[in-house]
Structure 1
Amino acid sequence: MARTGRSVDWGFPRWRGYGAAREAESVRICDRHGCEEPGTCPAPKSPNSPDRWYFCEKHAAEYNRGWNYFEGLNKEEAAARAKDEARDAGGYSQASHYGWAGSGDGSRSADEMRALEVLGLDPDADFAAVKKAYRLLAKQNHPDTNPDDKQAAERFQAIQLSYQVLKSAEERREWKPE
Structure 2
Amino acid sequence: MAKRKKIDLGDTPPEGMFRQCNHPDCFESGEFRAPKSRSEDRRNPEDYQWFCLGHVREFNKSWNFFDGMSDEEVLRYKDEDITGHRPTWKMGSRTAKPRGDYQYDDPFDFREDMGAHEDTSQQYRQTASPKIDKEERDALAVLNLRPGSSLSEIKRRHKELAKKYHPDVRGGDKKAEEILKNINQAYTHLRSCANS
Instruction: Give the alignment's TM-score, normalised by structure 2.
Output: 0.34
- Greater share of helix: 1
Larger Rg: 2
